[in-house]
């Protein structure tokens, strides 16, 4: 039985910072079946493809309006040498993917295939360079190969390999997890390398690169401080024309157990349900504190924060390669995503990009492909991304949750209602999550500062908190129209069933 548990107060006439569409970015690493069997099946496959790229995967992702795609890693990035992945596929050298399953990588998916994928998706390329085992020259030549238009050596090599015009590469990562698999470096040592390597990731022609330094793991605020100190005067010193890098990354994963036993994706207790959501909610604290460190060096927020790895990390599915990180994706994962997005919207003045790990068949994936039948499954997380496309490049609106019940979980207070809002093109989009495992709620939307017009709403839920989609039941968790929205003296009243995610779109006029 539902009862009123909270009000969500939104001042429709007080827009805040812009919610970049890049907060809805994705990540594709050479890991398990993300690239091979996920994005790429080869031109000889019976699965419909273009240049080896799966057309059903592209079609599904285009519905998400994917803004950017990060590649080739992850830990793989600092083992990857890009020249191994160009030229005729049959002549490309092989390598060992020592991080992920210790399998042999044949480099059949390389730079040209990735850029073709980005063009098919309509997504910007976020290329992650190799600092850990690469060289400054190697990274410098890669950006030249990708983006230079004249007859320079690398541009000429690109043309020999079949691409005349340069590509646009707006985003470039200066290594990955330099504190760990990217070199086990200390913060100051990596900061010096980041300045050096970033200097040689040059702007060629009209391609302007946004350089992203490999930032902190979870709550390593000292790492963030070191990178901010490394920026010096932020381009304001004599003889210093610009900052060597324009953003710092951050990585944070949600799991319910220790590293050796992170918990099951689909078999969990109610207590584990709440622990997962509480740990997802911790992203609010991390974004706040890393932003505060950055504010001390950069009060004008010229340097961006990029959460380029986030999502759930569970034990792999039984019977699968432990190095391939294949896990199912349940309604719980969807609400982990919704909690993150609410925090992203609140921090959109500093947070400029985020990339969920990962897009296909790995960790908190959008899509799962069946290796035997080739069937494609959209996960509950996919549907949260799709339901939120209206937030892309919208102006944030503060959504004040008043009177929501809380639970003390895992050492922190977890509100049972999560919310965020934005406005664009005369419509407000309000996202609402009921994190209660078994109790329904009714929430009042206290909408101020504008006249309300037409209202539409959608809901994502299921009977079971562990519900998930399979080739046999692909729509066990899928959004439908939500009829539980009514006019209210303050604005609207919305029914939120237990463990549900709801978006409400409202036409507004001044």
Catalytic residue among 113, 177, 284, 386: 177
Residue 177 annotated to the active site: yes
Cβ–Cβ under 8 Å, residues 1 and 494: no
Cβ–Cβ under 8 Å, residues 349 and 16: yes
Cβ–Cβ under 8 Å, residues 321 and 263: no
Q: At 462, is the secondary structure helix, strand, or coil?
A: coil
Per the listing, tokens 């099951």 go with: 264
Cβ–Cβ under 8 Å, residues 175 and 197: yes
The H helix count followed by the E strand count for the chain is 9, 28
> If you compute the radius of gyration of the chain from its CA atoms, what whole number of angstroms results?
23
Beta 171-174 vs 210-217: how paired, if at all? parallel
Buried b (16+ CB within 10 A) or exposed e, 477-503: bebeebebbeeeeebbbbbbbbbbbbb
Give the tokens for residue 489: 């003296």
Please tell me the distance from the alpha carbon of residue 60 to that of residue 366, in angstroms, as a whole number.
9
Cβ–Cβ under 8 Å, residues 456 and 20: no
Cβ–Cβ under 8 Å, residues 331 and 381: no
Of 387, 421, 384, give the one whose Cα is nearest residue 401.
421
As a whole number of Å, the end-to-end CA separation of the chain is: 37
Query: CA separation (Å) from 96 to 30, 103, 322?
Result: 11, 6, 16
Please tell me the distance from the alpha carbon of residue 277 to that of residue 483, in angstroms, as a whole number.
26
Of 463, 401, 451, give the one whose Cα is nearest residue 430.
401
Please tell me the distance from the alpha carbon of residue 8 to that of residue 3, in angstroms, as a whole number.
15
Catalytic residue among 29, 141, 284, 309: 309
Q: Active-site residue numbers? A: 177, 309
């Amino acid at each position: 039985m539902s009862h009123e548990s909270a009000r969500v107060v939104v001042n429709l006439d007080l827009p805040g910072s812009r919610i970049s569409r890049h907060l809805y970015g994705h990540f594709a690493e050479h890991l398990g079946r993300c690239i091979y069997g996920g994005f790429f099946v080869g031109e000889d496959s019976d699965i419909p493809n273009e240049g080896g790229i799966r057309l059903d995967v592209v079609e599904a992702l285009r519905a998400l309006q994917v803004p950017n795609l990060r590649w080739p890693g992850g830990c793989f990035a600092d083992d990857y040498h890009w020249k191994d992945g160009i030229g005729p596929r049959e002549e490309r050298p092989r390598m060992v993917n020592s991080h992920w399953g210790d399998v042999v990588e044949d480099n059949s998916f390389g730079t040209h295939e990735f850029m073709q994928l980005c063009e098919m998706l309509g997504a910007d390329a976020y290329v992650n360079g190799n600092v850990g085992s690469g060289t400054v020259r190697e990274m410098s030549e890669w950006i030249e190969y990708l983006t230079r238009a004249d007859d320079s050596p690398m541009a000429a090599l690109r043309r020999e390999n079949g691409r005349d015009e340069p590509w646009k590469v707006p985003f470039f990562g200066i290594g990955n997890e330099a504190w760990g698999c990217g070199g086990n470096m200390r913060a100051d040592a990596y900061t010096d390398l980041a300045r050096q390597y970033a200097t040689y990731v040059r702007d060629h022609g009209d391609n302007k690169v946004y350089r992203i330094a490999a930032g902190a793991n979870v709550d390593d605020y000292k790492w963030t401080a070191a990178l901010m100190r490394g920026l010096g005067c932020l381009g304001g010193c004599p003889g210093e024309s610009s900052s060597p890098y324009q953003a710092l990354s951050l990585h944070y994963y949600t799991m319910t157990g220790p590293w050796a036993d992170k918990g099951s994706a689909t078999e969990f207790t109610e207590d584990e349900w709440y622990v997962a959501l509480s740990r997802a909610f911790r992203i609010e604290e991390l974004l706040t504190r890393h932003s505060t460190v950055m504010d001390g060096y950069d009060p004008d927020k010229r340097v961006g924060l990029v959460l380029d790895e986030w999502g759930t990390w569970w034990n792999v599915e039984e019977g699968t390669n432990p190095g391939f990180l294949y896990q199912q994706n349940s309604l719980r994962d969807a609400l982990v995503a919704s909690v993150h997005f609410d925090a992203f919207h609140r921090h959109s003045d500093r947070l400029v990009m985020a990339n969920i790990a990962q897009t296909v068949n790995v960790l908190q994936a959008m899509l799962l492909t069946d290796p035997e039948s080739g069937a494609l499954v959209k996960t509950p997380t996919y549907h949260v991304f799709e339901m939120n496309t209206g937030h892309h490049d919208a102006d944030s609106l503060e959504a004040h949750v008043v009177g929501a019940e809380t639970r003390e979980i895992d050492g922190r207070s977890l509100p049972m209602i999560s919310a965020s809002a934005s406005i664009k093109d005369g419509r407000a989009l309000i996202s609402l999550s009921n994190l209660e495992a078994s109790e329904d709620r009714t929430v009042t939307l206290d909408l101020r500062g504008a006249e309300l017009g037409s209202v539409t709403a959608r809901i994502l839920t299921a009977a079971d908190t562990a519900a998930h989609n399979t080739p046999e039941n692909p729509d066990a968790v899928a959004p439908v129209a939500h009829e539980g929205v009514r006019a209210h003296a303050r604005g609207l009243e919305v029914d939120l069933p237990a463990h549900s995610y709801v978006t409400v779109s409202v036409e507004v006029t001044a």
